[in-house]
Structure 1
Amino acid sequence: MKLFYKAPMVCAMLLGAAVMLSTGCKSYNDLAGHYSSKHIKANTNQVTAQIPETGELGYILLSLTETGSNDTTLINKESAYYKDVMKQFAAFKNHKAVKLLNSDLLANGNNFSHFRNGLYAYKFNKHNNMVLKTEYRVDLNRVDFRRYVGAIEDFIEKTNFRSFYAEHNNLYTKIIKEQGQQLNMNAAWATMGKQYTQPFQSYQVILSPLMKGSASTLAVSGRGFRECLIFAESTNKALFYSSTTASTPKVAYND
């Protein structure tokens, strides 16, 4: 099985905001597909916009790090949502989970991409445990999530993160609805076809009202099923385009 992380020089990959990524074309085993027949059936020919709980937690942790606090291009600090985040979580900037992420970012700025790729493979269960989804594996991710799981579970308990997430469900739903009305398979491939050689059977669009300056994609395949994860920014308007994509070799992948 092969899978590739792709973050070319892309301008405005999604949602009408200009984004410049310069990490180049690289391949990492950040996420491995372990798809069930149920997952394949439910997601074939689907573009799904979402704000997953673990993903939003990752962005909140980023906003609390030294990198997130000092960098003016990563976090949307002008929104009421950001103010809500700071009100709830600013007192926890020295929490172990934040310190772990900050340390990884200081070691290598690209580690956040590996971190959020891996977080997509996780969910929180009813006991507030951070557990892997059945569809994905993170064994070869550049970030060692064994270091994070306990710290993240402690963070969500002490900060009441899950209550915060639930309280902002209306905002998340509004953003997701706006994306869902404008995204489709043809529009997705119009953008991804500039970077990959084979069409995907599914696109998962991961959004956050916190982000404004870092977009990337991750191609995952398994059991003959090809899925593209798109990590994008959100603004008031969804627009799937890539008007100034730099010329980079197309990427192939297979099982």
Structure 2
Amino acid sequence: MKSLPKYALALMLAAGTSACYAQQVKELPGIKSNVETITYVLNGTERHADWKISPEQKPDRLSVECNQKVTKVAFVTDVDSITFNVKVGDTIQFYVLQKGKEKALTEIVGVPKNVNFTKKYIREHQGKFSVEVPEVHELANILVAISSIGQQDSNMVDMTTPYHKEVMAHFAPYKNHPIMDVVNRHITKVFDNESYWYYYAMKMNACAYVFDKKGSIKNEGIIQKMGFSNQDDPILVNRALIEDFAKKSNFREFYKQHQPYYNELMQTYRTQNPIVQQQEWLEKMFGFKYGNYRVTFSPLVGGAHSTMGFEDNGFNQTVMFVKRADLNPKYNEKVNEMRNTRVVFTEIDHNFVNPTSDKYTKQINEIFADRAKWVVESNGTSAYGSPYNVFNEYMTWGIYSLYCLDKFSAEDNATFIPIMEHQMEQKRGFIRFGDFNQKLISLYKENPQISIDELYTNLLDWSKDVQAKL
């Protein structure tokens, strides 16, 4: 038998490799789903009901913090489930096959412990709250502000202040720095869902970092990753470029010169946001507690807010990423307090509303499945892609109305609540919020001692009736 030419053997080997690879891909396990939003469960108890199937991610990655030797991870759909045992360093792939959609390659990555709350840290922070304009966080917001979309999207960037003009005057000459190629490649459209995820990943993860004495950016070591769990950390990935931008633009001197301005904003924030009072009210309403609140903001943030909760060593910390407090001369002192308190309250109470909503996931997914009946596809509502997230945004803002009923006068409520309802419906696109909110208020007024579960049950029944009539 004649020997094969080398190129023919190479072709056969390549074909064989491709066939083996295709066979391996086919052999990945999979689960079926009739719905777009499913649940993942950690160790049988920690439920997350807002996993959106995203075939475009390739893969759609979930980083699982392994605080023990083996972490049990289950994905649960309306018709199927799959479970894996995950250890640090593991990468496990499977498919989610949503009916009528492209199958989604999904990946679980086991990562080390993310949070290190020492006994000393807990002693220093238990029952307290802080307000900060962190240095690396401000740098991340400046990168966004000088980006192409940052100069257009008023929700990401507040372009109305003298401070913004100073930022642009100082940093716009550096808009061609290589780090800006990265930012502009990922933040590409106004009010775009993917752009917002990257924006959040930048500013949230930035809060885990500080500058050392040499001007290098390093992780502080308390929380390794502060962004959402299914996203990479852009600060870690691009740290050398960000450090170079900071040095060439003389960022640290700019930040130092503006420290009196930041301090003034932080003091205004504290007076306008009685966080301890909010915390006590929410704990009484929902029946459970959180240990510590950390408010971070930048004078550059327009209205794009987020929050994350962290737990370690029996201590919980909620970090909020929000806008500055401001005073509108049109309103009296109390209405201004209501306006500013709303910003942080509706981030804090996600940490109370979301775990409560987890008990009602099935009803929420059924009632709020038809998005067109509850939101308009504009004004950033794409960030609330699941029925669960839509309902929670309705509920977090609605719960704030109940707080206002208890803490402010009828006259001030009559001024503020219509403003909030108009903002939700006309500016944010949650088109049924006024009716939803008034139903919630009426339930609370009828029985101020009503339990949170009774509120949920009554409100979901009302929402089901509304949905059926629309």
Shorter-chain TM band: 0.7 to 0.9
Q: Are residues 1:104 and 2:190 paired?
A: no
Which is richer in helix?
2
User: What is the 5 A alignment of 1:42-61?
Assistant: 42-61=124-143
* Structure 1 counterpart SS, 2:354: coil
User: What is the 5 A alignment of 1:146-165?
Assistant: 146-165=236-255
The answer as to whether partners of 2:129 and 2:295 remain within 8 angstroms in 1 is yes
After superposition, give the CA deviation of every residue in 1:114-168 in whole Å (9 maximum; x if it has no partner).
2222111111111111100121112966124442100111011000000000000
After superposition, give the CA deviation of every residue in 1:62-112 in whole Å (9 maximum; x if it has no partner).
101122112133211111100110111001112122222222223543121
Q: Are residues 1:80 and 2:127 paired?
A: no
After superposition, give the CA deviation of every residue in 1:175-220 in whole Å (9 maximum; x if it has no partner).
11122234332314646998x8842111000111111220111111
The amino acid across from 1:227 in the alignment is: Q
Unaligned runs of 5+ in 1: 7-26
The amino acid across from 1:53 in the alignment is: E
Cα distance in 2 for partners of 1:113, 1:53 equals: 16
* Structure 2 counterpart SS, 1:205: strand
Partner residue of 1:241 out of 335, 342, 346: 342
For the pair shown, which has the larger CA radius of gyration, 1 or 2? 2
Q: Are residues 1:39 and 2:143 paired?
A: no
The answer as to whether partners of 1:47 and 1:183 remain within 8 angstroms in 2 is no
Higher normalized contact order (CA 8 Å, seq sep 6+, divided by chain length)? 1
Mark the CA change 1:190 to 1:112 in structure 2 (over 3 Å): closer, same or farther: farther
* Structure 2 counterpart SS, 1:128: coil
Q: Are residues 1:128 and 2:218 paired?
A: no
Normalised by the length of structure 2, the TM-score is 0.44
Q: Are residues 1:95 and 2:177 paired?
A: yes
The amino acid across from 1:115 in the alignment is: M
The answer as to whether partners of 1:75 and 1:210 remain within 8 angstroms in 2 is yes
Once the two structures are aligned, what percentage of the paired residues are identical? 22
Partner residue of 2:294 out of 204, 217, 222: 204
Range with greater deviation from structure 2 (150-159 or 59-68): 59-68
- Report how many residues are paired: 230
Normalised by the length of structure 1, the TM-score is 0.78
The amino acid across from 2:149 in the alignment is: T
The answer as to whether partners of 2:269 and 2:324 remain within 8 angstroms in 1 is no
1:11 matched to which residue of 2?
A: none
The answer as to whether partners of 1:197 and 1:251 remain within 8 angstroms in 2 is no
Cα distance in 1 for partners of 2:306, 2:119 equals: 27
Q: Are residues 1:228 and 2:318 paired?
A: yes
Mark the CA change 1:189 to 1:70 in structure 2 (over 3 Å): closer, same or farther: farther
Mark the CA change 1:64 to 1:191 in structure 2 (over 3 Å): closer, same or farther: farther
* Structure 2 counterpart SS, 1:84: helix
The answer as to whether partners of 1:130 and 1:149 remain within 8 angstroms in 2 is yes
Cα distance in 2 for partners of 1:180, 1:85 equals: 25
Mark the CA change 1:190 to 1:56 in structure 2 (over 3 Å): closer, same or farther: farther
Mark the CA change 1:198 to 1:101 in structure 2 (over 3 Å): closer, same or farther: farther
Cα distance in 1 for partners of 2:118, 2:178 equals: 35
The answer as to whether partners of 1:218 and 1:229 remain within 8 angstroms in 2 is yes
The amino acid across from 1:241 in the alignment is: R
| C-alpha deviation, 1:51, in angstroms | 0.3
Range with greater deviation from structure 2 (202-211 or 113-122): 113-122
CA-based RMSD of the aligned residues comes to: 3.3
Range with greater deviation from structure 2 (145-154 or 201-210): 145-154
Mark the CA change 1:199 to 1:72 in structure 2 (over 3 Å): closer, same or farther: same
Cα distance in 1 for partners of 2:164, 2:342 equals: 26
The answer as to whether partners of 1:123 and 1:133 remain within 8 angstroms in 2 is yes
Cα distance in 1 for partners of 2:116, 2:198 equals: 23
